[in-house]
Chain A
Amino acid sequence: MSQASTEIIRISGHAGSVPGAGLNREFQVCKLVDTTTCIGCKACEVACLEWNGYTFSETTFDNTYQTMPETAWNYWNLIKFNEHERADGSMMLLMRKDQCMHCEDPGCLAACPADGAIVQYANGIVDFQEQHCIGCGYCITGCPFNIPKFSPEARKVFKCTLCNDRVSVGLEPACIKACPTGCLHFGTKPEMKELAETRAEQLRNVSGFADAGVYDPPGVSGTHVIYVLHDAKNPELYGGLPKDPHIPYSVRLWKGPLKWLGNFAMIGGLVGLAWHYMRYGPKNEEPIPPDDRRRV
């Protein structure tokens, strides 16, 4: 995959032209996560940390193999573990790699008011541009998957980049490369979709998982990370994967019908709103804990 695939097609909070708008890409990238062959080894977690240069953060044992309850600003890739007993009494250990889903219709980008802080490339990667991030946390509200996380130190929000530094020079993301069992796979969206459907069919026909299927939620126009699940009817079993994710209504409203108005900025009732988020931008202010930001 060349750099050309990282043309920008959407920019958050942006009034002007978009460099890659209208470009018709031949391919979009996609990560396939086959939870049925995941062994929860966390190689992807470590590969992500190592590649991105994040260091040790203290964790606590919480009656699970899971490293921490949710992804963190400096921990973008987390296997969620769930012990599940089937109706026949047999045990399952469901393991799902949680990370940014790189939605085709990204709620974070829709919610973001800062010009250029979140961009979407033609290849489907949704990327945070930290130098433009004002740390308001609206992206957190906009995300139906609870992915973007606020760093109290940097006072900005971070998430998985889908290793665009690697992807742009033709390498696969670090997590994909590491995955020992091939539960992770990387390629174009149509190819991954086909591979996923083939595997789901095998699970239904050969392995006795009647409800096996592919998770590529239409509520966000599909994602660039898709799952194969043993039980596609109950994605919640896999560490709270939402059944039918949507961009929150509030975000749709003010970034949708009201967006055009918003682009002319700071008129009428929107002045107060814009001012409200602006106050979190300056660096000399205290960071706001995530919980408080949710209340905004």
Chain B
Amino acid sequence: MTNGWIDIKNTDMMLIMGGNPAENHPCGFKWAMEAKRNRNAKLISVDPRFTRTSATADLFLQIRAGTDIAFLGGLIRYAIENNRIAKEYLANYTNAAFIVKEGFKLPEDGLYSGFNAASGTYNNATWNYEEGGDLSGKMDAVASSAHESSAHGKTSAPAGKPPALPPNVAYDLTLQHPRCVFQLLKRQYSRYTPETVERITGIPKEQFLKAADLFTSVRKDGDMKKVATIIYAVGWTQHTFGTQIIRTAAMIQLLLGNVGRAGGGVNALRGHSNIQGATDMAGLFDSLPGYLKVPVPADTDLAAYLKRITPGSSKPTEWSSMNYWSNTPKFFVSLLKSLYGDSATKENGFGFDYLPKVDRDYSWTHIWDDMYNGKVKGMMAFGMNGVMIGPDTNKNINALKKADWLVVGEIYPDETSEFWKAPGITAEEQKSINTTVYRLPCAGFAEKDGSMTNSARWVTWKYAAVPPPGLARLDQDIIAQIFLRVRDLYKKEGGKFPDPILNLSWAYADAAHPGLSQVAMEVNGRALADLTDPATKQVIKAGQQLPGFAWLKDDGTTMCGNWIYSGTWTEAGSQIQRRGTEDPSGLGIYPNWAWSWPANRRVLYNRASCDSAGKPWDPDRKQVWWNEAAGKWVGNDVPDFKPDSHPKDHLGPFIMNPEGVGRLFVPIGVLADGPFPEHYEPIESPIKNPLHPNQSNNPLVKKFKTPYDKFGSPEEYSIVCTTYRLTEQYHYWTKNNPMNVQLIPEPFVEIPVELAEEKGIRGTDKIKVISARGTYIAKAFVTRRLKPMMIDGKKVYQIGLPIHQGFRGIDEDEGRNARTPANLLTPTVTDPNAHTPESKGFLVKIEKA
């Protein structure tokens, strides 16, 4: 979330889409209700079905799963056409005025410039800004218009060298230049008319217009006081164009000037208690703690790596850009120092070669595919039910059959540890499965201390209440004990490149039981030599905890496990254990409760809550502001900005971007599939993409080739299916919990009344949902909350099913359900940017079981 849970109470308008917070985040949703009760805020719910969030909405629209970009693109068009945009914000805080390189082509045929059909990738050289200066009123200064260049579709990229952003960007503050981002944006979404939106999404034109009018009403007559928020969850991420859906939302929020403001922002509701922390800590193949990029083979040494990943600023000459990522070397070297301690020296590049170099996609779906293909031999799964989480449960089970070994650390018997006993596997077949499986009893949440980071980026410490039951052990102890034994083996026997194992810093008081407070202090970072701040003359002694990431150095004199967590555990003590309940501003900032990354800021990019002169857009919701007398930014929140930067310096509020401004157009190298979002159909779709039938899907999506990777045609599988969680259950966890099982005793499939009538199905009848990959069996929940839709002139049904059924659980063990996991149905295709599988919007057929 750019903002936070409580901050939702400050909003005037909510668009909730791709998420169902009333059911999945009930206690956070209270702040939406507070906004309704106390501010008369409006709530628009757009969802494939009428959910319990929709029940509280002022307006509900039923959308076909996977068509969110069409809807949001339509919203962009509506806002521009009706002049409901934030002009000053747009010109100064976004790249709307930046001029894009000649040769950049919009995807009117479904493809951006630079597509290589053979490799299925883009050469993104033209996805860049033009170099130059102020081109306001000088439209001829750069030769051809975007239209002409798109007609030629030529690319002017020099081959070989990776393109970089120009330091001195050409721009036109009048936003009139045909190749300025704003004009390109306008053209890109001019195709997303209400009629087109209706054809694609199934939302009748009048309803769409009603929603568009309501949402953009916050910018009626150019008034900047009101604020709208956009709230989403995995209903947006789990698509083959998920990242681009979220981008579209961010673009709307930039167009309307809603980012950085109390009650605004783009708010991802993370689905699990510490998914945010897991992402921050980089439990993912393609990042290192604090969103540092993983090294690749071409990074031959530390210097080459740092050069590649440290951006230079790229902006109009007259403007300033903080370009915070220019500090990357400090963050990275401090990380290496925390990993390898004294073994990380200047001479060995601080142990740069100890880290593996990543040459391709090793993400979730590749693990299973490569395991199926015999490459991945062993797996450790801690608190992660991989078989169930999918996609394609069947494929994952069959992959595990080929592994040599599997270690599962869990608190309940789960499907992953018992994959070899999955329904359909006979005792005879079990004898032929040669995987050794270790199941280790771990500790539950109440038995562990440590910190978790919520969706609002609040890092909060929790305390252990009871010891783990029986022989169960703390997860961190198990990892430590495995690692120490591996290290002992390498010490005794030697082996392949033992250096990073032998040199890993493990300076915990009790090596086999690392205290998490010690780990947390390491993550915060400390000085390894005496440090002096040249400006304030403040001194941090060697060995002292660092006050924050501003102190990090790239010369090996600081260590820090995760730069964005620097400030969590300082010399002043643990900031993440703070329990101050005061909220002086009344905006729900709670500055002294726990600690929020980065630097205890509660709303990101909060400089943008003020106009160019540094005055809050809304005096009633003052977050930060420029104090002329003091010569600095002050406020109720920690300014997300250079504190002494005078507004006339024109330092951009989006300090993490090299441009200093928000990106309506994403230049080179950030997104694989295009600088603007374009509507593509889900891989399995009932129709061809009405925008460009010859390029129906995201061109960058690749399919795997195992026998399990099958796809259904709309002729055979005509129903659009989506999956979700219910408020009464939590993933595959509470099926072990009697109270929750009692609330939703049996799995069901929600189907429209009309479809039920067509098929002769009555409520509670047992039905089969069949995709090209598998069959799910559950009872029919015949409801009027899902209606048939007209999609591009074709009647389409949409159904949905909760994901909570597995083959181990109270009901499962008692034979009260069919033991068919929902992910038996889902396809193994992913978003090319985030590598998240497309679990929403696939095709099925149904029949009576």
Is B783 within 8 A of A56, CB to CB? no
Is A37 within 8 A of B33, CB to CB? yes
Out of A39, A61, A91, name the residue touching B785 (CB < 8 Å).
A91
Is A61 within 8 A of B779, CB to CB? yes
For residue B26, CB closer than 8 A to chain A, the reply is: yes
Residues of A within 8 A of B781 (CB): 61, 63-64
| Complex Cα gap A271–B689 (Å) | 82
For residue A258, CB closer than 8 A to chain B, the reply is: no
Is A182 within 8 A of B34, CB to CB? yes
Is B36 within 8 A of A37, CB to CB? yes
The 0/1 profile, CB within 8 Å of A marked 1, for residues 315-346 of chain B is 00000000000000000000000000000000
For residue B435, CB closer than 8 A to chain A, the reply is: no
Q: How large is the interface on B (under 10, 10 to 19, 20 to 34, 35 or more residues)?
A: 35 or more
For residue B742, CB closer than 8 A to chain A, the reply is: yes
Please give me the residue from chain A that is nearest to B24 by CB atom.
A41
CB distance from B621 to the nearest CB of A (A): 20
Out of B58, B726, B741, B785, name the residue touching A56 (CB < 8 Å).
B741
Please give me the residue from chain B that is nearest to A64 by CB atom.
B781
CB distance from B827 to the nearest CB of A (A): 28
Given contacts A93-B55, A93-B785, A199-B37, contact A43 B748 (CB under 8 A): no
Is B742 within 8 A of A39, CB to CB? no
Please give me the residue from chain A that is nearest to B745 by CB atom.
A59
For residue B723, CB closer than 8 A to chain A, the reply is: no
The 0/1 profile, CB within 8 Å of B marked 1, for residues 38-62 of chain A is 0111110110011000011111111
Residues of A within 8 A of B728 (CB): 41-42, 65
Is A180 within 8 A of B30, CB to CB? yes
Is A90 within 8 A of B60, CB to CB? yes
| Complex Cα gap A93–B33 (Å) | 16
For residue B657, CB closer than 8 A to chain A, the reply is: no
Please give me the residue from chain B that is nearest to A37 by CB atom.
B33
For residue A175, CB closer than 8 A to chain B, the reply is: no
Given contacts A46-B739, A83-B785, A199-B37, contact A41 B52 (CB under 8 A): yes
Given contacts A39-B26, A83-B783, contact A182 B743 (CB under 8 A): no
| Complex Cα gap A46–B728 (Å) | 10
Given contacts A57-B742, A61-B745, contact A39 B53 (CB under 8 A): yes
For residue B276, CB closer than 8 A to chain A, the reply is: no
Q: Which among B53, B726, B745 has the greatest number of chain A C-beta atoms within 10 A? A: B745
Is A63 within 8 A of B785, CB to CB? no
Is B50 within 8 A of A41, CB to CB? no
Is B23 within 8 A of A56, CB to CB? no
Given contacts A41-B52, A91-B50, contact A60 B26 (CB under 8 A): no
The 0/1 profile, CB within 8 Å of A marked 1, for residues 32-57 of chain B is 01101100100000000010111110
Is B37 within 8 A of A39, CB to CB? no
For residue A36, CB closer than 8 A to chain B, the reply is: yes
| Complex Cα gap A199–B40 (Å) | 11
Out of B726, B727, B738, B764, name the residue touching A63 (CB < 8 Å).
B764
For residue A95, CB closer than 8 A to chain B, the reply is: yes
For residue B782, CB closer than 8 A to chain A, the reply is: yes
| Complex Cα gap A49–B23 (Å) | 20
For residue B554, CB closer than 8 A to chain A, the reply is: no
Residues of A within 8 A of B60 (CB): 90-91
Residues of A within 8 A of B782 (CB): 63
Residues of A within 8 A of B783 (CB): 63, 83
| Complex Cα gap A125–B524 (Å) | 53
Is A93 within 8 A of B764, CB to CB? no
| Complex Cα gap A55–B764 (Å) | 25
Is B746 within 8 A of A60, CB to CB? yes
For residue B27, CB closer than 8 A to chain A, the reply is: yes
CB distance from B48 to the nearest CB of A (A): 13
Query: Which residues of chain A from 2 to 58 have a CB within 8 Å of any chain B CB?
Result: 36-37, 39-43, 45-46, 49-50, 55-58
| Complex Cα gap A37–B38 (Å) | 13
| Complex Cα gap A182–B40 (Å) | 16
For residue B794, CB closer than 8 A to chain A, the reply is: no
For residue B22, CB closer than 8 A to chain A, the reply is: yes
| Complex Cα gap A91–B743 (Å) | 24
Query: Which residues of chain A from 87 to 135 have a CB within 8 Å of any chain B CB?
Result: 90-95
Is A41 within 8 A of B763, CB to CB? no
Out of B23, B37, B726, B741, name the residue touching A37 (CB < 8 Å).
B37
CB distance from A77 to the nearest CB of B (A): 12
For residue A146, CB closer than 8 A to chain B, the reply is: no
CB distance from B102 to the nearest CB of A (A): 50
Out of B26, B741, B748, name the residue touching A41 (CB < 8 Å).
B26
Is A61 within 8 A of B743, CB to CB? no
| Complex Cα gap A40–B22 (Å) | 9
For residue B372, CB closer than 8 A to chain A, the reply is: no
Out of B40, B743, B784, name the residue touching A85 (CB < 8 Å).
B784
Out of B30, B741, B746, B748, name the residue touching A181 (CB < 8 Å).
B30
| Complex Cα gap A26–B313 (Å) | 68
Residues of B within 8 A of A40 (CB): 52, 55, 727
Residues of B within 8 A of A61 (CB): 744-746, 748, 764, 779, 781
For residue B29, CB closer than 8 A to chain A, the reply is: yes
Is B727 within 8 A of A202, CB to CB? no
Residues of A within 8 A of B746 (CB): 60-61
Residues of A within 8 A of B33 (CB): 37, 181-183
Query: Which residues of chain B from 1 to 43 have a CB within 8 Å of any chain A CB?
Result: 22-23, 26-27, 29-30, 33-34, 36-37, 40
Is A56 within 8 A of B55, CB to CB? no
| Complex Cα gap A65–B729 (Å) | 12
For residue A234, CB closer than 8 A to chain B, the reply is: no
| Complex Cα gap A207–B743 (Å) | 31
Please give me the residue from chain A that is nearest to B59 by CB atom.
A90
Please give me the residue from chain B that is nearest to A59 by CB atom.
B745
Is A39 within 8 A of B50, CB to CB? no
Residues of A within 8 A of B36 (CB): 37
Residues of B within 8 A of A63 (CB): 763-764, 779-783
CB distance from B49 to the nearest CB of A (A): 10
Query: Which residues of chain A from 200 to 256 have a CB within 8 Å of any chain B CB?
Result: 202, 206-207
CB distance from A214 to the nearest CB of B (A): 15
Please give me the residue from chain A that is nearest to B784 by CB atom.
A83
Given contacts A41-B727, A63-B764, contact A36 B56 (CB under 8 A): yes
| Complex Cα gap A67–B738 (Å) | 13
Is B55 within 8 A of A92, CB to CB? yes
Please give me the residue from chain B that is nearest to A40 by CB atom.
B52
| Complex Cα gap A62–B748 (Å) | 10
Is B54 within 8 A of A91, CB to CB? yes
CB distance from A92 to the nearest CB of B (A): 7
Given contacts A39-B727, A49-B739, A55-B738, contact A202 B37 (CB under 8 A): yes
Please give me the residue from chain B that is nearest to A84 by CB atom.
B784
CB distance from A280 to the nearest CB of B (A): 30
| Complex Cα gap A65–B34 (Å) | 25
Is B29 within 8 A of A181, CB to CB? yes
Please give me the residue from chain A that is nearest to B787 by CB atom.
A91
Residues of B within 8 A of A183 (CB): 33
CB distance from A39 to the nearest CB of B (A): 4
Is A202 within 8 A of B23, CB to CB? no
| Complex Cα gap A63–B54 (Å) | 19
The 0/1 profile, CB within 8 Å of A marked 1, for residues 423-454 of chain B is 00000000000000000000000000000000
Given contacts A37-B37, A39-B55, contact A180 B745 (CB under 8 A): no
Is B40 within 8 A of A206, CB to CB? yes
| Complex Cα gap A11–B279 (Å) | 61
| Complex Cα gap A64–B780 (Å) | 10
Is B784 within 8 A of A91, CB to CB? yes
* Apart from A41-B26, A63-B779, A95-B55, 7 more pairs, CB < 8 Å: A41-B52, A41-B728, A59-B742, A61-B744, A180-B26, A180-B29, A199-B37
6 pairs, CB–CB < 8 Å, chain A vs chain B: A39-B55, A41-B728, A46-B740, A65-B52, A93-B54, A199-B37
Interface residues of B (CB under 8 A from A): 22-23, 26-27, 29-30, 33-34, 36-37, 40, 50, 52-56, 58, 60, 726-728, 738-746, 748, 763-764, 779-785
Across the A-B interface, the 10 shortest Cβ-Cβ residue pairs: A63-B763, A56-B738, A180-B26, A61-B746, A39-B22, A93-B55, A59-B745, A180-B27, A181-B33, A41-B727
